[in-house]
Every structure is written in structure tokens, then in C-alpha cells.
């Protein structure tokens, strides 16, 4: 047979089980309890997602938010509460918002995800929902890109020059024409009559054979002859990315002449295409939508001058070096790096930023909330209601809280007391049944023996029986009997008047014990009847204040009214929360009190009946005969001789 578990061990086990059920496991830790909502974002470069087999490394990931994957109403209007945390749920990730528009339910956020692996899954967390006034935006555009990133233009500006989001701070020299609804938010519109100039900078200086990566989203239109998308020139050296009748190309010009990449793929269809150029010391490769398109086996010449987006003509650069015409179309997300990015990096950018293609690569999990009562109360509907409570509501709920504490104190205390009463009564009745057949112990000369039922009860049982009303009433009866029999020690008879007086004393004890059993029950009746009315009062006053505030503001706004009404109704809920448990507890306790009172009535009737029978004249005569059955009535006759 297995040994019984120690009660302390059982309690510890139950507490541990409750803790395990009440709080999230370590695998589902929560970064910060002030952020009540989160989503898991998974990047899948395996066969189930984008199937990228080449190295990627750290990369800026575009997180597109819309009403299908993000509840904008749960976040701050400017997105200041957005936070991105690594998979360990501890490490914050650098990010910045290119756009956050809750009216259109659209946002573009760039997040730096370190060390992406090909053919694997990686994840990070999006936290939001902290709408407190102290929450500020945590954008870190410069931290979003690595040290090899020389320039990033989102072209999100309207009427101002493009701003560099990288650490270089290389802003454009002139403003271009904004194109809303571009590939990623706002882009740059090129009409063939102008260019955006990128000023010369050491960050963009290319030595001969320098490694670099150039990428952008380009919207191609009808076929154009030798249209220049991007160009740089320095003396006789030049570098051009362009398109000729639907075929993108890269062209290098130096003292030995010009070399242009020859397409190995069909012409590019109109629409948005991801164009990337990766240069090493001996090769410059052109990629379209992450796939190789053409290349030239030569390094870039030395270039340190300005660069031009859309054209090179009219910008002080010799036409003989650049050639070609101005590009007509749109450009978005121009990025230049000082290193040759791996093919996996280029393909990842093309797929991950590509709108409909990104769905297979980037997946959003379900909305999650912290699995704890504290977080639920703080951040859920309860938190909204508490935050909207007015002073009068707090006063009413405070009073109801005091009433609730008192009522629970009374119910718990009374239940424990009645438990002791029931246990003591049960123990006393068991001993009384043994004494009731012979009440001679009641008039025993030893008072302590009489009160302890002939010495039958002692120690722990006597302590338990002291809480029994029956035991205390029994004491009253014993004292009354001993008092009346003490006057005539030779007689063990109680007159009818004495029995009636003893009955009156027992009834007095019954009344006192009934009062003790019913003490403090009136507090429960007050909670039952007064709690709902106090709650209703708080609700009515709260509704009045809410509508008065709306009338003063002169603006009927459901979002302004709803929290006030909800908070006002909280007072009624609090009142019912006080009354309902009190009602159940009152009825339960009242049933047990009535049972204890019935036991008192039955015992008193039985005690008086036994007492009248035992101390009657007939019973006393019987006891006398029993003690001397052969007592002679006259002296004995002398013996005959």
C-alpha cells in the first residue's frame, strides 16, 4: 500500500498545478506586460515558403500591415506602440515606420532581422496595444540597416528631397515628383524631363573594381530606347543602369570604351520589377525579380561624383559618356550597399517586398494575449472600464468593496463557527445518550464530574464540546438541578414548580444561544438588499455625468460615450457582485442555524422529560427500596429457649 501524501505536500502540489494553469510556460514568455497584444511573424525560406537556397545574412524585412493581419484600432494612431522582438522574446529588433495610416488600414514597417538562414524558418514578435500616453515611437532607421548600407531612399516624401534612411544621411539634392500608390507606399514618378540628384559623398565613392550592390523597384511602361534609370560619371568613366526596348542592361564606360550587358532572358513585361545590380572586382551582374538576367565580366571604374536617378542629361555630365534618354516610369525603394550582397539576399528582397509574393515568405500568426489574470484585468475590457470610471463611480464601488469584504468575513467566520458547533453538538449528543439513562451524575457531589457528564469527557473532546450550544445549555440545567437539590440532601425529588423554573432557565439559555448563532447575519441582509441599490445609484449618476459631458462638448461620438456608459454600469455589476454571494451564503448559513436551533429545542424537551422522570417521587421511592429492600418494620422477636 502506498503511503498517504502529507497534507502540506498536497497543498504545494495543488498550488503548483494552479500556477502552471494560470501563467504561460517559459516557451510562451511575454516580453513586457505593458504590451497586451502580440503576433508571431514567421519568415519561411524553406521549400514550404520561398525556397531560397543561397546565403542571406542579416536583412531589412518589410512588414506590410493591413486590416487582414493587424487590428489598427488596437494600436496608437501613429503606431508609436509597435515593438518588434526577436524569437527569444527578449531582444528588441531595430525598425522604423515608412508609413502608418489607421484610416486606410495600411502600414509599412522595416525591421532588421539578423542572420537569416536559407532553407529554414525564422520568427520574431510584433507587440502592440500599449496605448498609454507615455508610450513614444521607437523608430531607429539607421539601426535598421547594417554598416555596409550606404544609401536608402523610400521616396515617401511629398514636395521635399528624398531623405536617406541609412546611417550615411546622404539626402537627395532636389525633390522629385511623388507617386502615391507605388510598390511600397509612395514612390518617385519620372516623366522623362528631370532627374533626382544624389550628391557626391565618400560613402558612395567607388574605387576601380569596387564591390557594391544597387537595387530598386522599377515600374516599366511602354518600350523605350536606351532609357537611363540610374547613372554616374566621372571624367571618361561612367556607369549606367537602363532599359532598351524592354531589356534592362548595365553599361560600363572607361578609357577603353563601353561595355553593355547582353540579355539572356526575354524582355521584361510592363509593371513593377525588382532590379538589382551586384558588382565584384571582375563581374557586374544584373538581376530581375531575384533571378539572373545579364552580366558583364568587368569591374566598375573609379567613380566619386554625384549620381542621378532617371537621367544624366542636363546634369553636367557629358552625353558622350552616358548616352541614352530619360526614363519614363516610377522608382521605389532605392538602396545602395558598399558590398556585393549574396544571391540569397537579392532574391529574398525581391520576394519579401513583392506584395503578393511575400505571402509565401512572410506569415502572420494569430493575435495573442498574455495568459495571466493580471494582464487580462489591466489590458482587456476590464482595463478600459476601470480607466473610464469617474470619481462618483469609484466612491460607490469603494463602498461596495467594503461591504463585500464585510459580507465575506461574516460568511467565512460564521461558516467556520457553525462547523465547530456541529462537531461539538455531535460529540455531546453521543455522550449524552450514555448519561440520559441514569441522571445520577447530575447531582453528584463533584461539580466538575457532573459538568463533564460523569467524567466521560476530558482533554481535546472537552475543548471541542465547549463550542457546542447543547453543552452550554446542559451546564445551565446541571447548575439549576444542583442548586435546588442542595437544600435537602436527603431528598432527590424536584417539585413541579422547580421543574418549571429549570425549564425557564433552559429556555433563557436557548434564547441566548439563538442570538449567538444568528449574530452578524443582519450584515448579510444589508448587503443583499443595499448592494444592488447602491450599484444602481452609481450607474444612474455615471450615466448622467456621461451625457452631461457629451452635451457640454456638443459632439455625439460613440467612442466617447461607450466607455463612460460601460464604467457607469460597472457600479451595478459591483452591487450585484456584493448581493449575489451574500444571498447564497445567507440562505446556506440560515439553514445550518435553523438546524442547530432545532437541536436545541429537541434537547431541552428531552432534558426536561428525563429530569422530571428521574427526580419524581416515584423514582425517588424506587431508588430508596433498591438501596434497602429487606429493612424490617418492627424489632425482631427474641429466640425461644
Query: Is the same domain home to 494 and 399?
Result: yes
Q: Give 58-101 as a DSSP string.
A: EEEEEEEEETTT--GGGS-TT-TT-EEEETTSS-B--EEEEEEE
419, 427 Cβ separation under 8 angstroms: no
Whether pLDDT at 123 is above 50: yes
Query: Is the same domain home to 464 and 585?
Result: yes
Whether pLDDT at 147 is above 80: yes
Predicted confidence at residue 24, as pLDDT, reads 42
C-alpha angle 587-593-596 in degrees, rounded to nearest 5: 150
Query: Quick check: is 580 in a domain?
Result: yes
Among the residue ranges 130-144, 151-165, 270-284, the one predicted with the least confidence is 130-144
Name the DSSP class of 116: E
Query: Is the same domain home to 304 and 410?
Result: no
Average pLDDT of 27-36? 80
36, 375 Cβ separation under 8 angstroms: yes
Query: Is the same domain home to 304 and 437?
Result: no
Average pLDDT of 35-64? 92
pTM of model > 0.75? no
Q: For 413-431, write each residue's pLDDT tens digit.
A: 999 999 989 888 888 888 7
Query: Is the same domain home to 137 and 198?
Result: no
From residue 632, give the alpha-carbon distance in Å to each of 235, 626, 627, 628, 635: 160, 14, 14, 10, 7
Query: Is the same domain home to 112 and 190?
Result: no
Query: Quick check: is 123 in a domain?
Result: yes
Query: Quick check: is 67 in a domain?
Result: yes
Query: Quick check: is 552 in a domain?
Result: yes
Q: Is 379 helix (H, G, I), strand (E, B) or coil?
A: helix
Report which secondary-structure segment, H or E, holds 415. helix 391-435
Predicted confidence at residue 546, as pLDDT, reads 82
Contacting residues for 624 by C-beta, under 8 A, at least 6 apart: none
Query: Quick check: is 360 in a domain?
Result: no
Q: For 597-611, write each residue's pLDDT tens digit.
A: 998 999 899 888 888
Query: Is the same domain home to 191 and 128?
Result: no
Query: Quick check: is 375 in a domain?
Result: no
Instruction: Decide which of 357 and 507 is more confident.
Output: 507
Which domain does 558 fall in, by range? 390-625
Q: For 615-633, write each residue's pLDDT tens digit.
A: 776 666 666 665 544 444 4
Predicted confidence at residue 194, as pLDDT, reads 80
Query: Quick check: is 158 in a domain?
Result: no
Query: Is the same domain home to 54 and 142?
Result: yes
Using left for φ > 0, alpha for ψ between -120 and 50, and beta otherwise, residue 427 falls in: alpha
The mean pLDDT value of the chain amounts to: 83
Predicted confidence at residue 133, as pLDDT, reads 81
Q: For 193-231, write each residue's pLDDT tens digit.
A: 888 999 999 999 999 999 999 999 999 988 888 899 999
The band of 384, judged by pLDDT with boundaries at 50, 70 and 90, is low
Q: Which three cell numbers stand for residue 141?
A: 532607421
Whether pLDDT at 13 is above 50: no
Query: Quick check: is 541 in a domain?
Result: yes
> Which of 198-202, 367-371, 389-393, 607-611 shows the highest mean pLDDT?
198-202
Query: Is the same domain home to 495 and 577?
Result: yes
Separation of alpha carbons 568 and 562, rounded Å: 10
User: Which letter, b or e, does each residue of 337-370 get, where b requires 16 or more Cβ atoms within 10 Å of its Cβ?
Assistant: bbbbbbbbbbbbbbbbbbeebbeebbbbeebbeb
Whether pLDDT at 119 is above 70: yes
Q: Structural domain tally of the chain?
A: 3
Q: For 35-46, write each residue's pLDDT tens digit.
A: 989 999 999 999
Name the DSSP class of 200: P
Predicted confidence at residue 216, as pLDDT, reads 97
Using left for φ > 0, alpha for ψ between -120 and 50, and beta otherwise, residue 398 falls in: alpha
Separation of alpha carbons 479 and 463, rounded Å: 20
> Which of 5-9, 69-73, 190-194, 543-547 shows the highest mean pLDDT?
69-73
Whether pLDDT at 335 is above 50: yes
For the chain, percent of residues with pLDDT exceeding 70: 81
Query: Is the same domain home to 132 and 203?
Result: no
Predicted confidence at residue 387, as pLDDT, reads 67
Query: Is the same domain home to 36 and 142?
Result: yes
CATH code, 331: 2.60.120.200
Average pLDDT of 50-76? 92
Report which secondary-structure segment, H or E, holds 44. strand 37-44
Whether pLDDT at 342 is above 80: yes
Average pLDDT of 548-560? 70
Sign of CA dihedral 181, 186, 190, 194: positive
What 519-525 contacts at long range (C-beta under 8 Å, 24+ apart), as own/partner pairs, is 520/410, 520/413, 520/414, 521/410, 521/414, 521/586, 521/589, 521/590, 521/593, 523/406, 523/407, 523/410, 524/407, 524/410, 524/411, 524/582, 524/585, 524/586, 524/589, 525/586
For the chain, percent of residues with pLDDT exceeding 90: 51
Cα Rg for the chain, rounded, in angstroms?
47
Query: Is the same domain home to 331 and 422?
Result: no
Amino acid at each position: 500500500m502506498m503511503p498517504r501524501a502529507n497534507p502540506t505536500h498536497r497543498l504545494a502540489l495543488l498550488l503548483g498545478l494552479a500556477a502552471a494553469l494560470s501563467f504561460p510556460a517559459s516557451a510562451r514568455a511575454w516580453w513586457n506586460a505593458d504590451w497586451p497584444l502580440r503576433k508571431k511573424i514567421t519568415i519561411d525560406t524553406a521549400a514550404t515558403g520561398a525556397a531560397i537556397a543561397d546565403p542571406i545574412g542579416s536583412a531589412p524585412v518589410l512588414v506590410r500591415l493591413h486590416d487582414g493581419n493587424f487590428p489598427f484600432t488596437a494600436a496608437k494612431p501613429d503606431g508609436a506602440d509597435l515593438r518588434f522582438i526577436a524569437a527569444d522574446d527578449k531582444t528588441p529588433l531595430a525598425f522604423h515606420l515608412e508609413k502608418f495610416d489607421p484610416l486606410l488600414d495600411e502600414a509599412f514597417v522595416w525591421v532588421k532581422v539578423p542572420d537569416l538562414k536559407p532553407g529554414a524558418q525564422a520568427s520574431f514578435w510584433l507587440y502592440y496595444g500599449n496605448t498609454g500616453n507615455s508610450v513614444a515611437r521607437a523608430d531607429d532607421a539607421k539601426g535598421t540597416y547594417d554598416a555596409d548600407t550606404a544609401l536608402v531612399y523610400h521616396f515617401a516624401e511629398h514636395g521635399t528631397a528624398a531623405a536617406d534612411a541609412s546611417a550615411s544621411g546622404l539626402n537627395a539634392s532636389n525633390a522629385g515628383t511623388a507617386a502615391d500608390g507605388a510598390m511600397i507606399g509612395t514612390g518617385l514618378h519620372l516623366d522623362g524631363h528631370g532627374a533626382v540628384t544624389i550628391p557626391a559623398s565618400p560613402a558612395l565613392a567607388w574605387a576601380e573594381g569596387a564591390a557594391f550592390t544597387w537595387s530598386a523597384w522599377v515600374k516599366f511602361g511602354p518600350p523605350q530606347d536606351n532609357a537611363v534609370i540610374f547613372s554616374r560619371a566621372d571624367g571618361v568613366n561612367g556607369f549606367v543602369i537602363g532599359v532598351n526596348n524592354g531589356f534592362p542592361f548595365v553599361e560600363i564606360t572607361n578609357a577603353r570604351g563601353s561595355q553593355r550587358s547582353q540579355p539572356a532572358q526575354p524582355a521584361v513585361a510592363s509593371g513593377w520589377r525588382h532590379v538589382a545590380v551586384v558588382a565584384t572586382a571582375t563581374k557586374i551582374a544584373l538581376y530581375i525579380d531575384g533571378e539572373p538576367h545579364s552580366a558583364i565580366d568587368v569591374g566598375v571604374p573609379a567613380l566619386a561624383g554625384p549620381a542621378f536617378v532617371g537621367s544624366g542629361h542636363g546634369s553636367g555630365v557629358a552625353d558622350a559618356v552616358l548616352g541614352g534618354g530619360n526614363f519614363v516610369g516610377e522608382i521605389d525603394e532605392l538602396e545602395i550597399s558598399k558590398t556585393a550582397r549574396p544571391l540569397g539576399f537579392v532574391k529574398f528582397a525581391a520576394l519579401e517586398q513583392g506584395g503578393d509574393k511575400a505571402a509565401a515568405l512572410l506569415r502572420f500568426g494569430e493575435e495573442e494575449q498574455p495568459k495571466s489574470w493580471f494582464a487580462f484585468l489591466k489590458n482587456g475590457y476590464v482595463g478600459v472600464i476601470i480607466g473610464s470610471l469617474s470619481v462618483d463611480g469609484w466612491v460607490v464601488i469603494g463602498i461596495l468593496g467594503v461591504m463585500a469584504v464585510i459580507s465575506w468575513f461574516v460568511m467565512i467566520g460564521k461558516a467556520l463557527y457553525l462547523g465547530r458547533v456541529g462537531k461539538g453538538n455531535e460529540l455531546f449528543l453521543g455522550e449524552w445518550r450514555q448519561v440520559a439513562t441514569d441522571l445520577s451524575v447530575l447531582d453528584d457531589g463533584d461539580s466538575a464530574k457532573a459538568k463533564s457528564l460523569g467524567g466521560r469527557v476530558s482533554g481535546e473532546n472537552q475543548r471541542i464540546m465547549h463550542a457546542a450550544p447543547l453543552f452550554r445549555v446542559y451546564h445551565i440545567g446541571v447548575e439549576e438541578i444542583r442548586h435546588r437539590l442542595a437544600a435537602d440532601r436527603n431528598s432527590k425529588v424536584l417539585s413541579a414548580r422547580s421543574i418549571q423554573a429549570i425549564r425557564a432557565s433552559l429556555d433563557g439559555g436557548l434564547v441566548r444561544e439563538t442570538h449567538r448563532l444568528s449574530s452578524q447575519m443582519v450584515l448579510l441582509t444589508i448587503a443583499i438588499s443595499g448592494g444592488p441599490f447602491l450599484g444602481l445609484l452609481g450607474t444612474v449618476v455615471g450615466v448622467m455625468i456621461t451625457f452631461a459631458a457629451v452635451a457640454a462638448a456638443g459632439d455625439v461620438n460613440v467612442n466617447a460615450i461607450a466607455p463612460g456608459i460601460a464604467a457607469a454600469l460597472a457600479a451595478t455589476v459591483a452591487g450585484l457582485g456584493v448581493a449575489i454571494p451574500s444571498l447564497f451564503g445567507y440562505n446556506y448559513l440560515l439553514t445550518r442555524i435553523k438546524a442547530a436551533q432545532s437541536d436545541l429545542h429537541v434537547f431541552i424537551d428531552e432534558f426536561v422529560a428525563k429530569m422530571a422522570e428521574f427526580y419524581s417521587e416515584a423514582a425517588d421511592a424506587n431508588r430508596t427500596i433498591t438501596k434497602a429492600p429487606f429493612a424490617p418494620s418492627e424489632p425482631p422477636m427474641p429466640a425461644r429457649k
